[in-house]
């Protein structure tokens, strides 16, 4: 029976890879949420700018337009902040992706070693079986020569 000498290490590497994949999935989810928040803020700013433009064309009092401008400036700052947060989330996603790739390489290296050990074990078994069959054949041949006919 074949027993891989680094089986515990391989199981641990698989666990680490699964954990890295879960972290990547969570990072992707967070990044997508930040992307949606940024898009929503941009959409809100666009809507309010359109309202402000319509009020200007309608000749509304400048006090109301100043309120819209203050809101627009605040939205610009908020969108910039959301862009920075999104960039941080994208960086975290990239780090998680690298972590997954590293874990996959480490696991693959041990799997290649396991495969090589498995092939070597099969070859040893084949040679032992071949030797055993050869010994039986030699024994039969000797017995046949010793028995009178």
pLDDT digits (tens, 9 = 90+) for 32-76: 999 999 999 999 999 999 988 888 888 887 888 888 889 999 999
Query: Model-level pTM?
Result: 0.75
Pair 100, 21: CB distance under 8 Å: yes
Architecture of domain 6-112: Orthogonal Bundle (1.10)
Q: Examine the pLDDT at 149 and tell me if it is beyond 70.
A: no
Plot region of 147 (φ>0 → left; ψ -120 to 50 → alpha; else → beta) = beta
């Amino acid at each position: 029976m074949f027993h891989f000498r680094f089986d515990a290490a391989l199981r641990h590497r698989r666990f680490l890879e699964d954990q890295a994949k879960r972290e990547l999935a969570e990072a992707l989810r967070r990044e997508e949420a930040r992307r949606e928040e940024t898009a929503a803020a941009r959409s809100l700013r666009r809507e309010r700018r359109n309202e402000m433009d319509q009020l200007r064309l309608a000749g509304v009092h400048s006090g109301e337009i100043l309120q819209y401008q203050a809101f627009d400036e605040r939205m610009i700052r908020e969108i910039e902040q959301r862009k920075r947060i999104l960039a941080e989330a994208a960086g975290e996603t990239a780090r998680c992706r690298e972590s997954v790739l590293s874990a996959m390489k480490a696991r693959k290296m041990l799997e290649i070693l396991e495969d090589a050990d498995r092939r070597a074990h099969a070859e040893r078994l084949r040679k032992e079986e071949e030797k055993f069959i050869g010994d039986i054949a030699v024994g039969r041949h000797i017995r046949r020569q010793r028995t009178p006919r």
